Every structure is written in C-alpha cells, then in structure tokens.
Amino acid sequence: MPADYHSHTPLCRHAVGGPTEYVEAALAAGITEYGISDHAPALPEPFDDWRMLSSELEQYFTWIESARTHAANRLPIRSGLECDWLPDCEGWIEDLAGRYPWDYLIGSVHYLGDRWDFDNPKWLGRWAETDVEAAWSRYWEEYAAMAESGLFDILAHPDLIKKFGFRPEGDLQRFYEPAMEAIAASGCVIEINTAGWHKPCAEQYPALDFLRMARDAGVPLIISSDAHAPAELGRDFHRAIALAKDAGYTETVLFEGRQRSSEPLP
C-alpha cells in the first residue's frame, strides 16, 4: 500500500485519536509511510475554530515525536502541515516552513472571497444562494495561484469545491485546463483524496477527468485519506489505486526532507 501523507490530529479541534492509535492503525492498514499534516495556524489569530494556534505548534511537534517513538523501526513517520492558501499568506507560509524539519507542505484552498470556508457544513444554506459558476471560477483561479506560489510540495483535494454536490452546468474542462497548466508548470504533486467518497459529492477528489489530464500533463500523484480518525488511515486505498491506474498512472511519490522520490503503484 502507498504512503498516506494527509492526516490530522486533535490539535485542529475536529479530529480524534492519539499518536499511538494512529501508528497502530497505519500498521494495520498496511500503508508504507504515515504522514501527519494537520491544519496549520493561520493569521490573524484566532483565524477560525478548526486549526491549531501558532502557540500550539510545540505540542504538534511533540505529537509527531510521540508517533516516531511509538513507530520506531516499524514504520516511517513523515511530518507536514496542511496550509491554507489565503490572501497575502506567502510570508507566513515561509515562516512556518522554517519552524520544523518538515518532509512536505500541503497547500489547500478552503477559503474564498470574504473568508468563506466553502467546504464547512455550516455554510450549506449559503451554497444554495451562491452563483456556482462564479464560485468555481474563483476557486480554480486561487488553486492555480497556490500552485504558482511555489510554497507547497503537494496540492490537496483538487476539486474540493464540489464537496456538497454544487457543480456548474456543462463540461468542467474549462475550469480544469488553466489550473492544470499552472499545476504542471509548478512541479507540485496532487493527491487522490479518498475522503470525497464519504461526502455529499460521493466522489473522490479530483474527478477522473481531472486525473487523466494530470497524468497527461506529467503531474505526479499521491493517494491520501485525509484521516480525521485513526481508522480512516489508508481508507479506500485499493479503490484509489485502481482509479489511478485507470487514469494511466503507474507510480506514486514519497517525500523526505521536502525531497521527492517515486515508487511503483502496487
């Protein structure tokens, strides 16, 4: 089974489980590496109620070290953060990048416009009144800008904007194409995020069409669960591997010290 690099800890206030439980679950799931990438602090604080504060980074480092101690000689533990792409965040991301010997940084677009965290279930009502076409346009522009920033190793859940099932009419390639150009030029890795299968959209992130385009553009791939509980590590990886192969992928990538290597898909 490939590595699982996208996972959370209780420091973000909406995930459960301790480091030893995650390590045991990772071993049980048979993933080759367990990567921790909790929601990074964002400025100004408190930014929202679903991430750690910068004053909690030390606790996060301790959490990672506990996982390493428990996993010793049994499982490689990788460390990262899931950082939010926000207006004028660049200096802060660079600051965070220097705080710990990270193995990778993940970039995510969860916010649009007036600080609308569009994937938060509390905004379901707002979605019903939203111009879906405009929201998608805005989302993909931000996604491309995030890729172009060069701050991240991995770009998370590419089409998260579909989470609640609100999709514009017609062929979605018009959104994918300009974003794909930026992603391919950036050298960033994308993920198949299996959590989408458990959300209202009932589809992995990204859609198969997007994945095929990414493959054709030479964009490397990881598979991740976005686990918010130990039992979710490696969830649906067999299904995701089959999908990756369907899109033409033959390998996935590993990270250590922000350096990338590849390994064949099982």
Q: Which residues bind Fe ion (CB under 5 A)?
A: 82, 108, 226
Give the one entry of Zn ion, Fe ion, none that residue 84 binds, where binding means its C-beta sits below a cut-off of 5 to 8 angstroms depending on kind: none
Nearer to Zn ion, 10 or 181 (CB): 10
Q: Looking at beta carbons only, is 15 or 177 nearer to Zn ion?
A: 15
CA proximity to 12, closest of 81, 71, 111, 85: 81
> Per-residue x/- mask for Zn ion, residues 87 to 106, rule CB under 5 A?
--------------------
Which residue from 180, 184, 181, 190 is spatially nearest to 154, judged by alpha carbons?
Answer: 190
Binding mask 128-167 for Zn ion (x = CB under 5 A): ----------------------------x-----------
What is the residue-wise DSSP string for 146-191? HHHT---SEE--TTGGGTTS---SS-THHHHHHHHHHHHHHT-EEE
User: Which residue's structure tokens are 């710990």?
Assistant: 100
204's contact among Fe ion, Zn ion, none, with CB below 5 to 8 A by partner kind, is none
229 membership: H or E segment, kind and range? none
- The reply on whether position 119 binds Zn ion by CB under 5 A is no
Residue 227 has φ and ψ, to the nearest 5°, of -60, 130
Is the separation of the CB atoms in 214 and 244 below 8 Å?
A: no
Quote the least distance from Cβ 157 to Fe ion, whole Å: 6
Binding residue (CB under 5 A) for Zn ion from 226, 230, 232, 253? 226
Residues forming contacts to Zn ion in the complex (CB under 5 A) are 156, 226
